[in-house]
């Protein structure tokens, strides 16, 4: 089954404790991205990647890192999480061909205390 898999679904952590949210897709998509969703703000892009070893900042990259060493994986790293990073996070992927829709993972709800 074609899918984007994020883990974990829920995560509670404390300020300053490094964490990684994993994202994997099995559709051989070139494009992958991370979004955060906050009430009243919609989805805002954190980072995106057009292909392996190519990553770029989105609208809200501060406090986050990503890597794209393999085509299927695009982990999101919070080196020193802070309470303002409490949010719902989504990973997404798509082909770079025309008419290619964006596929989302099921989300990761992160709480930083």
Query: Under the criterion CB under 8 A, does residue 59 sit at the interface with other proteins?
Result: yes
CB 6 within 8 A of CB 88: no
What's the Cα-to-Cα distance from 65 to each of 68, 79, 96, rounded to whole Å?
Answer: 11, 8, 23
Q: Which stretch binds other proteins (CB under 8 A): 19-27, 61-69, 79-87, 93-101?
A: 93-101
Query: Under the criterion CB under 8 A, does residue 44 sit at the interface with other proteins?
Result: yes
Query: Under the criterion CB under 8 A, does residue 74 sit at the interface with other proteins?
Result: no
**Which DSSP letter does residue 79 get?**
S
The Cα 41–Cα 4 span in angstroms is 23
User: Which residues of this chain interact with other proteins, rule CB under 8 A?
Assistant: 33, 35, 40-45, 48, 50, 56, 58-59, 88, 90, 92, 99-104, 106-107
């Amino acid at each position: 089954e074609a899918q984007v898999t994020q883990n974990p679904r829920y995560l509670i952590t404390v300020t300053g404790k490094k964490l990684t949210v994993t994202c994997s897709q099995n559709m051989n998509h070139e494009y992958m991205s991370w979004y955060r969703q906050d009430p009243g703000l919609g989805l805002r892009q954190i980072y995106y990647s057009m292909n392996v070893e190519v990553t770029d900042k989105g609208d809200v990259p501060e406090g986050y890192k990503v890597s794209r060493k393999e085509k299927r994986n695009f982990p999101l790293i919070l080196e020193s999480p802070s309470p303002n990073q409490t949010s719902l996070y989504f990973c997404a992927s798509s082909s770079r061909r025309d008419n290619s829709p964006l596929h989302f993972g099921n989300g990761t709800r992160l709480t930083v205390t």
